[in-house]
Amino acid sequence: MPENSKEFRDDETEILRVLHLHNPWWESKRVPSSKALPFKRRDFYKLLEELKDPKVAAIIGARRVGKTVLMYQLIEHIISNFGPEKVMYLSLDDPYLKVDVKILGQIFDLYSKYILKRPFSDITEPVYIFLDEIQTLDGWELVLKRWFDLDYKVKFLVSGSSSVNILTGGAESLVGRIHLQIVFPMKFLETIRFHMADEDFERRFDKVNWELREAFKIAIQKNDVAAFYSALRENANLLAGDIDRIMLFLQSYLLKGGYPEVVKAEDLDLAAESLKTYLNLTIYKDIVRTFKIRDPVAFEELVAVLARECCQRLNYSELARTLELKRHTLKSYIYFLKTAFLISESEYYSKSRTKRIRREKKVYINDSGIRNVAVGALNDYLLTNTAELGKVVEAIVADHCRRLKFDLEPASETQLFYWKNKGHETDIIVDMLQKPIPIEVKYRDKIDRKDLKGLLEFSEKHKTPFQAVITREKLDLSGNTVSIPLWLFLLMC
């Protein structure tokens, strides 16, 4: 390696050599199979549509959630349809390149001169530039703004592991020039797609997914829970022969969550080690270093507390005292964890914004595998621990409710709520189509009416279209209360 960065900048041959390592398809005409994996998530098909839009496409999500694989799959598509020279990929956290704005400009010039063999101003057909881990480059948003405004036939696709740079600085500088695609860990339906990739998945499971979503939407619009229950019953019957396998997949999902590399890992110990690595990298590389956190030990303890108290209402003043932090510091730490896609918050349900702010919030760890490894519970014993399993199930239901809301109402906020009155509580409330839908999570099949007192009180008070109880196996309709097995509810989402 050159002795200093100036020497490296002056060595065009060395920069080109590294670029060829990042872009082996310039020689081989194909993406290595180890990089462009055959299984394609739904995010891939959404991003395919983005290729037609000149706006910068920003792929953001937690570390190791599959952003780079999506990039390589898109590159494979571009190579097949437009040619290998039409695409350049660059990992901006490559410690050898040490890319800054000046070196990036050199890289663009070298790509134009030696690969495209023409200036960008002369290009008539689009070329695609992929910049992975964009948040590591200071001033990236100004570079892309300048290139976008030049109106060349260049489409930029960037990725980031923390949303804060892209959603704040990037969004401000690139307003009207950027489109965000947030990538989450796999939801339950996607893990089944992964495990059953060679089977007739589309005809059965995709059909169930779309039919139940449509029935759910119509039930809200028309206050017709009976039709929704009928659709649930019919589709449960259609999948009767698959239920045993689905329950095995569900147990795995409850333990390991939806990170792609962990979904395919059969050994729980190896899955736990991978998730520990993801969590530590996220904490120390994406958060502690980025936000210059002075007390990383307290920050790590906060993550452990939030994992243990997942789905519980938290008093931030008491929590700050416990961790010996100032309250505003704690709130900042919570914000950092949200920007890294590790946690989500749920507010008290009220039409009054003031009441919502004043009441305690519930905190969820977004991925069950991350939650379990943070409390040392990624093992089969969890499946027999009713209290701990209940927390995991509620967090998964909350996560899938957000996704369902986003899919049915893409332009709306995906905020969830809870409700509490005189000791009775409703776990989850999702505002769907401008109506509140209350959901109680009872991952068992013996459920008494007193267990649903909060749910029924909320429904009566707010005149909801119907209310749902998520159970282990029970599928039933009683009045306006529909009981849905967890596996079937997750397939709908």
Tens of pLDDT, residue by residue over 134-154, are 888 888 888 999 999 999 999
Q: Report the pLDDT averaged over residues 23-42.
A: 94
Q: What are the backbone angles phi and psi of residue 96, rounded to the nearest 5°?
A: -75, -45
What letter does residue 53 receive in the DSSP assignment?
S
Token pair belonging to 463: 């005149």
d(CA 51, CA 75): 11
Task: Specify the pairing of strand 313-314 against strand 178-183.
Answer: unpaired
CA distance 342 to 398: 14
Q: What is the DSSP string of 127-140?
A: EEEEEESGGGSTTH
Among 242-246, 268-272, 444-448, the least confident range: 444-448
For residue 7, give both structure tokens. 């020497």
Angle at which helices 243-256 and 386-408 cross, to 10°: 100
Name every residue whose Cβ is closer than 8 Å to that of residue 76 and which is 6 or more positions away in sequence: 30, 31, 36
Q: Is the pLDDT of residue 474 over 70?
A: yes
Give the model's pLDDT for residue 166: 67
Cβ atoms of residues 481 and 205 within 8 Å: no
pLDDT at 2: 45
- Tell me, what DSSP letter sits at residue 187? P
Tokens of residue 464, six digits: 């909801």
Contact of 253 with 396, CB cutoff 8 Å: yes
Whether 162 and 191 have beta carbons less than 8 Å apart is answered as no
Residue 97 in tokens? 């390149």
β-sheet with 416-421: strand ranges across: 313-314, 361-365, 343-348, 416-421, 424-432, 435-441, 467-471, 481-485, 476-478
Give residue 94's pLDDT: 84
CA Rg value for the chain: 24
Segment 401-412, tens digit of pLDDT = 999 999 999 876
Element (H, E) at 158: strand 154-160
Q: What pLDDT is attached to residue 446?
A: 87
CB 383, CB 373: distance < 8 Å: no
Query: What would the mean pLDDT of 148-163 be, rounded to a whole number?
Result: 89
- Cα-flanking dihedrals φ and ψ of residue 232, to 5°? -60, -45
pLDDT of residue 163: 64
Q: How far, in Å, CA of 157 to CA of 59, rounded?
A: 7
Which pLDDT value is given to residue 417? 97
448-472 confidence digits (pLDDT tens): 888 999 999 999 999 999 999 999 9
Which residues lie below 8 Å from residue 179, measured CB to CB, with a gap of 6+?
50, 53, 55, 56, 57, 58
pLDDT given for residue 259 in this prediction: 97
Note the pLDDT of residue 318. 94
From the list 196, 182, 229, the residue with the least C-alpha distance to 492 is 229
In this structure, which topology does domain 5-183 adopt according to CATH? Rossmann fold (3.40.50)
Does the pLDDT value for residue 48 go beyond 60? yes
Would you say 427 and 468 are in contact if contact means Cβ atoms under 8 Å apart?
Answer: no
Cα end-to-end distance, the chain, whole Å: 50
Q: Closest Cα to residue 492, out of 426, 403, 431?
A: 403
* Tens-digit pLDDT profile for residues 321-374: 999 999 999 999 999 999 889 999 999 999 888 888 889 999 999 999 999 999
Query: What is the rounded average pLDDT of the residues 226-252?
Result: 96
Amino acid present at 374: A
pTM of the model: 0.92
Residue that has been written with the tokens 């707010």 in this structure: 462
> How distant is the alpha carbon of residue 148 from its chain centre?
27
| Choice between 418 and 355, residue whose per-residue pLDDT is larger | 418
Q: Where are the domains of the chain?
A: 5-183, 192-492
How remote is the C-alpha of 144 from its chain's centroid? 25
- Position of tokens 């507390």? 305
User: Rounded CA gap, 153 and 126, in Å?
Assistant: 5
8 Å CB contact between 198 and 60: no
Quick check: 277 pLDDT over 70? yes
Pairing of the two strands 361-365 and 313-314: antiparallel
**Cβ count within 10 A of residue 15:** 18
Asked if residue 5 has pLDDT above 60, the reply is no
Strands 467-471 and 435-441: parallel
> Model confidence over 93-126: pLDDT tens digits?
888 888 888 899 999 999 999 999 999 999 999 9
Q: Between 383 and 170, where is the model more confident?
A: 383
Q: H or E stretch including 256?
A: helix 243-256
Give me the sheet containing 127-132, strands edge to edge.
87-91, 127-132, 154-160, 56-61, 178-183
Q: Hey, CA dihedral for 351, 353, 355, 359, is it positive or negative?
A: positive
Average pLDDT over residues 263-287: 93
Distance CA 253, CA 243 (A): 15
- Cα separation, 484 vs 476, in Å, equals 7
| 138 or 169, greater pLDDT | 138
